[in-house]
Amino acid sequence: MGLSALPATAVSIPVGRNRECALRSDSRCSESFELARRASRARGEPMDAGLPGVPAPRPWQARAGGVPHCDTLKLPRVPARVSEALVLRTYPLKEADLVVSFLTRDQGKLRGVAKRARKPKNPFGAGLERLSHVRMAYFQRETRELVNLDSCELIHSQFGLAADYWAGVALDYFAEVSEQLLPSAEPSEKFFRLLVAVLESLQPPAGGNGPALPGSVWRAVTYFSLWAVRLSGWLPELHVCLGCGSVLDDPAVPQRAFFARGQAGLMCGHCRRAPGAGSSWELSGESRAVAAEMLRLPVTNLAPRAWAQATVADLRRFLVQQIEEHAERRLLTAPLLEEGN
């Protein structure tokens, strides 16, 4: 039985320009169709697909009218990457989208577009809040700076810390420093683990509502600032004078240490009075001892201490000046942390 045996209404043969367009649109499948037709002839199978007694049509077989046809494979939409990440900052884009800056464990700091993230029904939920610990799914292309965010699974939220003012300012400080210090698309797992560690140190105990310990905010801020400067490669020697090279913490002849804006390290009392040294502040011996301890131990294993806003405030000022000097801009959140101090 051939196509001529079908009723006239069952056959739609493109004519004129319509036939030319159909042939042109399916030209990419013509070669595959010809190879398949030869194979069918070798097996003795007829090509009149869809007729009674004829095998079911194949993707490469012809439409009615003899036009080759090839069905497109429909694959599920799978994200190119799924990474553990911390959300640093979001920017509004258009009416309903967001540009998200996030730090991944394996790819470093990335920026991406979250479609429809500002609408009530979106695939991100509360996962794009500040410093949320998430599992981010995204599509990445080498030729584009921004990735396309697909969804995120919330691992841990920092929403419980928002009730405390100083903890909220500390979260803004962590996000701002990370945004300024980290280069784009450069893996930095140590910095990621640093952020996770200081955020965990701020969490309240099981069943509690406040910070884990009184003053834990200042401990976390100091620890984060010190290690952020060290991981960036900008931490100078804290026991040697930058000007003359003398040892500042020599037990036989201990010396006072000073720092100034624009100076890459510490100065002794003699170098401090040198012409052009400018205004300077003292870095106490206690602060240098705390810094040495923080460089050796995790934040949760530090010696018990009555942490307050004034505790090692000079060390925090020194570290903030180092960050601002190399980032070439003033931090907006650093003055808020030292209000009233």
Split into its structural domains, the chain has a count of 3
97 with 216, same domain?
Answer: no
332 with 238, same domain?
Answer: yes
The structure's pTM equals: 0.75
152 with 241, same domain?
Answer: no
pLDDT in tens, 236-277: 999 999 888 899 988 888 889 999 988 889 999 888 887 766
Distances (CA, A) of 152 to 144, 146, 192, 299, 338: 21, 16, 18, 29, 35
127 with 188, same domain?
Answer: no
- Tell me if 217 is assigned to some domain: yes
265 with 304, same domain?
Answer: yes
112 with 259, same domain?
Answer: no
- Tell me if 320 is assigned to some domain: yes
CA-CA distance, 110 to 142, in Å (whole number)? 12
- Tell me if 65 is assigned to some domain: no
CA-CA distance, 178 to 91, in Å (whole number)? 16
150 with 189, same domain?
Answer: no
The pLDDT of residue 123 is: 85
What residues form DSSP beta bridges with 281? 259
For residue 38, the Cα-to-chain-centroid distance in whole angstroms is: 54
- Tell me if 164 is assigned to some domain: no
The pLDDT of residue 171 is: 95
307 with 237, same domain?
Answer: yes
Q: CATH number of the domain that 293 lies in?
A: 1.20.1440.120
316 with 187, same domain?
Answer: yes
Q: CATH number of the domain that 100 lies in?
A: 2.40.50.140
Domain of residue 38, residue span: 13-51
- Tell me if 63 is assigned to some domain: no
Distances (CA, A) of 24 to 27, 29, 31, 66, 261: 5, 10, 13, 14, 70
* Cα three-residue angle 310-324-221, rounded to 5 degrees: 35
Which is it for the CA torsion 194, 130, 152, 96, positive or negative?
negative
329 with 184, same domain?
Answer: yes
The pLDDT of residue 193 is: 97
In a structure prediction context, what are the per-residue pLDDT tens digits for the chain, which is 341 residues long? Answer: 444 444 444 334 444 444 444 444 444 455 555 666 666 666 555 554 444 444 554 544 445 555 555 555 555 555 578 999 999 999 999 899 999 999 999 999 999 999 999 988 888 988 999 999 999 999 988 788 899 999 899 999 998 888 889 999 999 999 999 999 999 999 999 999 999 999 999 987 765 555 555 689 999 999 999 999 999 999 999 999 988 889 998 888 888 999 998 888 999 988 888 776 678 999 999 999 999 999 999 999 999 989 999 999 999 999 999 999 999 999 999 999 988 66
The pLDDT of residue 2 is: 45
333 with 184, same domain?
Answer: yes
- Single out the residue in 157, 188, 211 at which a domain terminates: 157
- Tell me if 249 is assigned to some domain: yes
107 with 185, same domain?
Answer: no
DSSP state string for 156-208:
E--GGGGGSHHHHHHHHHHHHHHHHHSPBT---HHHHHHHHHHHHHHSPPTT-
- Tell me if 71 is assigned to some domain: no
The pLDDT of residue 144 is: 84
* Tokens 């994200």 sit on residue: 79
- Tell me if 165 is assigned to some domain: no
